[in-house]
Amino acid sequence: MKRYETFDHRADIGIRGYGKSVEEAFENGAKAMFSVMVDINDVKPVDKEDIDCEAPDLETLFVEWLNNLLSNAHLNGMLFCSFKVEINANKLRGSAWGERLEKHTNHLMTEVKAATYSMLKVVKEDDGYIAQCIVDV
């Protein structure tokens, strides 16, 4: 089964994570987002950052999670490649692993400005969950 992917949008890029659980779909959604910036297979999960956030519903929680990751990555000069998420009553406790951005400055692609509400969806399908939205690049 596909774990994450990006999809086409006229001006920007869509990101999508699949998972057996909502948590896994959120983790893979984060991978999809960072794959817009860098080949995440080249990034080593050396340093860890913790990220907690909450929102009134699961869909906005997904956008919150992604935007918190972007802020944290930018502030600490990091690129993330691996994620762990726990969700309880629309409260998320997450961790992200990655390494310093300087190690990858030669093959960075596009900067993601923010995750948006556009085409935002967190849904259960037959064989698992999908979490997706458009990111502004």
Q: Which is nearer to another protein, 22 or 73 (CB)?
A: 73
For 2, 104, 112, 119, 132, the CA distances from 9, given in Å and listed in that order, are 20, 26, 14, 10, 12
Q: What angle do CA 15, 128, 17 make, to 5 degrees?
A: 15
59 vs 90: CA distance, rounded Å = 9
Q: How far is the CB of 1 from another protein (least distance, A)?
A: 22
Interaction site with another protein (CB under 8 A)? 6-13, 37, 55-56, 60, 63-64, 67, 70-71, 74-75, 77, 101-102, 105, 108-111, 113-114, 116-118, 120, 134, 136-137
* CB nearer to another protein: pick between 20 and 52: 52
Are β-strands 47-54 and 91-100 bridged in parallel, bridged antiparallel, or unpaired?
Answer: antiparallel
Least distance in angstroms from the C-beta of 121 to another protein: 11
State which residue, 5 or 128, has the beta carbon closest to another protein: 5
Rounded Cα gap, residues 135 and 113, in angstroms: 7
Nearer to another protein, 15 or 87 (CB): 15
